[in-house]
Amino acid sequence: MVVKHKKLAFTLVELLTVLVIITMLVALLIPALVVVRNMAKETQQKAQLTTIEMGLTAFKNDYGDYPPSDWQGNPLRTDYSGPQMLAEALVGWDLLGFHPKSAWRADGKDKDGGNDAYLGATTGTPTEREENLRQRVGPYLELATTNAFRLEQLFNDTKGLAGDTFVLCDVFAVRRITLPAGNIVKAGTPILYYKANPAWKNIEDGEYNKRIYNVYDNSELINLKSVTVDGKPGKEHPLGEVIENLYDFDDKGGIRDRKVEAMPWPHRPDSYILISAGVDGLYGTSDDICNF
């Protein structure tokens, strides 16, 4: 007796039903995966800020104070700002460590305009170059994980800022960078750095340079609107609008500590604040990650 086996197959309706279910599951899963990925990046970013804080603590232990973030009292010198000074303190102007004779200049020279600071590592006799490197301290951060990039690698036009100086970028890789060796890496957005001025006890009254935090310490970098992200035109940072209005920096800039009710008071008034632009790459939005 011959037994005939019935062929098993899905009908068209069944196949369409399965496809619809799979599509719905994917539509539900993708947003969840994006949220998980962003949460992981935020955790990584907080860890990076903690590492930077440890480096700044070590710097203060060595030199008695945190690195500056202003233009050293010279309003005409707008080529060197908070993020660049942060990078110099922690990894050095040339990534070879901090030099005690630094004058916090974009050209790497000492306060007298000589070559005794960073330029001594590439000029002079072999003995002089060796002596220059011997005087260096640090780097206070591991270069392999510090995300240090030159401004000219991040921005099409650095305007008044010195393009050949380094900044520390956050972990949200939004830009493709081609290194001198030819390999392509991804870079985040520069981390903003504001050093507190404990001599002044206000954040909303008086002149901008007589506040605990000087709004202009990072303004030149924030206002680089010509930056492109993977070939697409960049967007204007909301924090830039706050800087233009000046007196909104304490509130809309997010530095005001709402736990203090007696008077407007900032976070961390005795040290410094760090600001990452977050996943959207824009300063002054709700996804910013700070050390407060």
Tens digit of each residue's pLDDT (9 = 90 or more) over 188-200: 999 999 999 988 8
Structure tokens belonging to residue 278: 């977050």
**pLDDT score for 99:** 95
**pLDDT confidence of residue 123:** 82
What residue ranges do the domains of the chain occupy? 44-92+141-290, 99-136
N-terminal to C-terminal alpha carbon distance within the chain: 83
Buried b or exposed e, range 100-116, using 16+ CB within 10 angstroms:
eebbbbbebbbeeeebb
Pick from 139, 143, 244, 268: which is nearest to 194 by CA?
268
Give the pair of three-digit tokens for residue 74.
């010279």
The average pLDDT across 170-174 equals 89
Residue 2: is it exposed, middle or buried by C-beta count within 10 angstroms (0-12/13-18/19+)? Answer: exposed
Lowest-pLDDT range, 58-67, 224-233, 283-292?
Answer: 224-233
pLDDT beyond 90 at 170: yes
Residue type, 250: D
Q: What's this model's pTM, rounded to 2 decimal places? A: 0.84
Q: Report the chain's mean pLDDT, rounded to a whole number.
A: 85
